[in-house]
Structure 1
């Protein structure tokens, strides 16, 4: 059924498009730019078509990894090219493939310089994003995850606004510094378990004390990428200075890599540490939801307002993930998918009016419903989706997240629900000032409504926001088996930790027999069978033992 290497095709097809763009040369800059745009669009649409095939062939009842591809990469180290998707990663792959052609079309007229290089950067970015969500080898994941920084850095730094260099370096340094700690954690994990395969690492958690340190190292990287408060300050600057397409892909896909990392690494590989730090994550998320919503309320730059709203929405994602409940995790995943659609479309809507008036200042607009009724309708639907109105996809994710957190901590639920109330005014205020405000600017009154190209960008996004608001089952049915498996792995890891501690406590209470070499205890090979009466089947249980004497 899965003979076609669809994941490799989706990952590397954009690079084939890059080769075509590079190979086509012309002395006419206009011809070269047109060829680059056509090649990039065709390549990205073909990748989207492969994504549709992937979705159609995906088995919703299978909780395991599907479309698995494996090839030796560094055999001596046990590192392989190992790819696969499950219900958790499927929709992030589809979201990446879906948004890139929209970004290319959105840049069709707005990018006027170095068009060829811009299209190359976007195709490389698409390849790396899809690879990140498909990688099942820890080091392969790291290569894709970190390489994403390079094309995004170039997109912001070359085609951004007046402060593009500052914003690009801030984005790069923030995310890179956190990822250095993650690399250290991966090396330690590889040394302890002896494999870099993510599915194996999920089933074999290390000892609790080591989990604490590794969890913190990994958390530093993914928290910046989300971003979580208080390491979110790079995001507003990056969004404000990035070109429209850069903001769309940054909010739509790149922020989701942090949440995906929590689901792939933090919960299953470090279950005991996740349980210890969950309250901290809850309160950081609550602060993010309330604080950034209040900050968004006083913004005068439309892009910066939407950027702060993204931090607030990602707060609900981290709340849901670390509840370790079915509803919470499903809500967090759904919220990420919904936010990718809504925030991407919101940044597109900002780009539409920016191309006409060349300003993002809210006060320069007003009353555009008179001359842009189609735009006002689209913007209204997206605004309502952002505040979580029932009937939009934004409601489903937030509702499931609140149900999940209520099962764990009612006080946190109260504050998170308060965040919904605080979060609505800034979007309503933005809409009133831009769409229904008084027309004080003659330039704003002369702006033309959405053209056919712009409508073609918004229609699929708006349709999905409404469809998944009324029919969320298509997504939930496919992620549910994988989420249940994730929770089972998490709970199994907690149980293994309890049995490990019980076995060590029992061993400490037993007086060493005469002539026993106590030094030998510390040199038992990792995962040596250790007998415990608490084992479910009464047999031996493989227990990781760390040699603290070395």
Structure 2
């Protein structure tokens, strides 16, 4: 068994989910996604040398391309994030009724397949194909099953599609140039290139455009809040929990090792943009009246800090960024799910129409509160591990980066706790808030258990990814 089994499982699962029909689609999708998680855990726990799982087969003769997959701790950590969140996201949707459910759940599994392929690909052309394939399902998920009027959805989703596709074309041009230089798309061959400073600059910014839009980093963020708000909650979870990590992962895997000199030269610029996103996202979140939009801007602030950690080019920065990527994936999925649970009962996302929920459902209030505290990086949660490490890495570059970046803790605590007060506390709401179901409780408890366990004992995940971080740093510092 190797990682091609995992990819085949997700792809075949998407096909069978479509064939199964609307009544069985959700259950079939859950079964295949759970099986993919099982395969991932099996590989993590039984394989001694991850490199033995590497795959490389001749694929296209002209241009010369390989079906090449690289398996190391970093890629497996991202695949674990994908395969762990996908069944939880599918399970969270069981209370919703989707028209053409077979299409909806097949697209969810196909998107998981494309994202896992992006994390594993070790050939530039294969990587680009997986990268683009992941865009297609979320386009249709947001367009066909989203919120608000269809015209509003069309406008938001088309903007997102054009933005991301446009950025990706710059990346494709960069790969074409690198192929001209190396005669290969293989990651190992691209790492060996000796590019001039001018070449590295062009390659660095071609990649940066693609990744900055996907993450997103300001000023390339303008698509994010509208799409997060108008997509169905499942789509928002996939976008915020997993898909944006494709950009952050790619910074470490492709951009920095291929253009290390340019990364060092333009570090102040990209750090400035990343940290500006922290401040901007936090300030805009303070003014939001829609719960889903508030969480969208909160996510923008947090991923800005993660991006800053990546661009420090330090061990602590990269390690902390990976920890925060995984922690952010779990907590943001939990928060959007909590918002969906409230919407199911109140049929509104306006914060002013909520309040008084605590007196009707203490259990849901407690679960929601833990997720809020994890979001603001309370010690004892996995978010604290990543955020503290990233801030420490920023202080190694310049203490003011850490001071300004650290405002995410203060501002985040303010707007998240204020949101919690307005949504959950106060006098009993006139509307009845039915207590959370068993399925809803299971999803939230699993998410919280992960955050608390690795918050108290992060060593397994750190041991998994840190050898890969060391290899990337060795490549960055080779010049």
TM-score (norm 1): 0.85
Q: Of 116, 129, 135, which residue of structure 2 is paired with 1:130?
A: 116
Q: Of 435, 445, 452, which residue of structure 2 is paired with 1:466?
A: 452
Q: Of 206, 212, 215, which residue of structure 1 is paired with 2:195?
A: 206
Name the residue aligned to 1:15. 11
Name the residue aligned to 2:86. 100
Q: Of 197, 221, 224, which residue of structure 1 is paired with 2:213?
A: 224
For the Cα contact (< 8 Å) 1:66–1:84, is it kept in 2? no
Q: Cα RMSD (Å) of the superposition?
A: 1.3
C-alpha displacement at 1:487, in angstroms? 0.7
1:442 correspondence with 2:430: yes
**SS in structure 2 opposite 1:73?**
strand
Name the residue aligned to 1:348. 337
- Aligned structure 1 segments of 4 or more residues deviating by more than 6 angstroms: none
For the Cα contact (< 8 Å) 1:286–1:419, is it kept in 2? no
C-alpha displacement at 1:34, in angstroms? 2.1
1:252 correspondence with 2:241: yes
C-alpha displacement at 1:241, in angstroms? 0.7
1:297 correspondence with 2:314: no
For the Cα contact (< 8 Å) 2:68–2:121, is it kept in 1? yes
- What pairs with 1:128-207 in structure 2 (closer than 5 Å)? 128-162=114-148, 163-207=152-196
For the Cα contact (< 8 Å) 1:160–1:242, is it kept in 2? yes
* 1:468-511, Cα deviation, whole Å (9 max, x unpaired): 1111111111111111111111000xx2xxxxxxxxxxxxxxxx
C-alpha displacement at 1:379, in angstroms? 0.7
CA distance in 1, matches of 2:380, 2:443: 21
* 1:344-376, Cα deviation, whole Å (9 max, x unpaired): 111111111111111111111101111111111
- What pairs with 1:19-418 in structure 2 (closer than 5 Å)? 19-24=15-20, 32-59=21-48, 65-162=51-148, 163-418=152-407
For the Cα contact (< 8 Å) 1:48–1:97, is it kept in 2? yes
CA distance in 1, matches of 2:122, 2:52: 11
5+ residue gaps, structure 2 = none
C-alpha displacement at 1:17, in angstroms? 2.0
C-alpha displacement at 1:291, in angstroms? 1.5
Q: Of 392, 407, 420, which residue of structure 1 is paired with 2:409?
A: 420
C-alpha displacement at 1:66, in angstroms? 4.7
C-alpha displacement at 1:58, in angstroms? 4.4
CA distance in 2, matches of 1:385, 1:109: 26
For the Cα contact (< 8 Å) 1:290–1:423, is it kept in 2? no
C-alpha displacement at 1:341, in angstroms? 0.5
C-alpha displacement at 1:78, in angstroms? 2.3
C-alpha change, 1:57 and 1:203, in structure 2 (3 Å) is farther
Question: Please, which moves more after superposition, 477-486 or 15-24?
Answer: 15-24
**SS in structure 2 opposite 1:158?**
helix
1:490 correspondence with 2:476: yes
Q: Which has the larger radius of gyration?
A: 1
TM-score (norm 2): 0.97
For the Cα contact (< 8 Å) 1:48–1:98, is it kept in 2? yes
CA distance in 2, matches of 1:19, 1:179: 27
CA distance in 2, matches of 1:438, 1:195: 65
For the Cα contact (< 8 Å) 1:66–1:86, is it kept in 2? no
CA distance in 1, matches of 2:410, 2:93: 35
